[in-house]
Amino acid sequence: MNEKQRNEISKFLSYVLRHEPQAIGLQLDVEGWAQIDLLILAAAKQGHELSRAIIESIVESSEKKRFALSADGQRIRAVQGHSNAEVRLQHVEKVPPEILYHGTATRFLQSILKQGLIPGSRHHVHLSQDIQTATAVGQRYGKPVTLKVESLRMHQQGYTFFQAENGVWLTDHVPVSFIQQD
Ligand code: HQG
């Protein structure tokens, strides 16, 4: 597998495990798990040639640790980033650090400074602990801008935060009063 093929398969897995399992006739449970043998069969019908070895290699090499295997090695899921309505991962609730960062594009700023950060089609607003990651996230949508979120102050005022297995921080909504432009 070269880097390009690896990237394509990773994107395909993100698509079916976070967003549209039904597009290939795959069933996820409420915790987002898919049976690996069924995933391989469903993907083959769409012309994506997967195998256990390929899947395990993608899970292992994903620099953001996007996917996880079940303890028995029979199932796979995306660890965060879902938009699918059937899935509701029980993320671990945690006290956040004082500051978390959100990367976005400058064209969204005006709306964000009116409404605060909202999840869009995903289940949560995504925040990261370091500026570099946030900037890279923002870059996907245009000229990046990094916003500082006063996460600890939010938590002290009753807002809930979760941390996904791969370290990404999640919350439901960030009101404008907790956002600063970095
Ligand atoms: C923006 C990646 C207008 C928000 C990353 C973002 C992340 C608003 C976009 C994960 C808004 C939603 C998620 C408002 C928020 N008005 N725009 N009020 N509030 N937005 O892709 O956070 O590489 O659903 O700023 O690492 O960009 O795929 O969320 O630009 O963890 O593994 O609405 O995706 O992970 O976009 O990215 P997204 P995101 P992966």
- Name the residue ranges covered by the structural domains of the chain: 3-78, 100-181
The whole-number average pLDDT for the span 27-32 is 97
Q: What is the mean pLDDT of residues 145-158?
A: 98
Q: Is 113 in the pocket of ligand 1 (CB under 6 A)?
A: no
Mean pLDDT computed over 142-165: 98
Instruction: Please state, in angstroms and rounded to a whole number, the distance separating the CA atoms of residues 153 and 6.
Output: 40
CATH of domain 100-181: 3.20.170.30
Find out whether the beta carbon of 115 lies less than 6 Å from any atom of ligand 1: yes
Instruction: For the chain, give the percent of residues with pLDDT over 90.
Output: 97
Q: Looking at residue 182, what is its pLDDT?
A: 77
Which residues, in sequence order, are bridge partners of residue 162? Answer: 93, 170
Please indicate whether residue 64, judged by its CB atom, sits closer than 6 Å to ligand 1.
Answer: yes
Residue 159 CB-half CA count within 13 A? 20
Indicate if ligand 1 lies below 6 Å from the C-beta of 126. yes
CATH number of 3-78: 1.10.10.970
Q: What is d(CA 55, CA 22) in angstroms, rounded to the nearest whole number?
A: 19
CB contact at 8 A, 77 and 68: yes
Q: What is the pLDDT of residues 74-120, one digit of tens each?
A: 999 999 999 999 999 999 999 999 999 999 999 999 999 999 999 99
Q: Convert the pLDDT of each residue in 40-71 to its tens digit.
A: 999 999 999 999 999 999 999 998 999 999 99
The atom of ligand 1 lying closest to the CA of 141 is 30
Q: Are 64 and 132 in contact (CB under 8 A)?
A: no
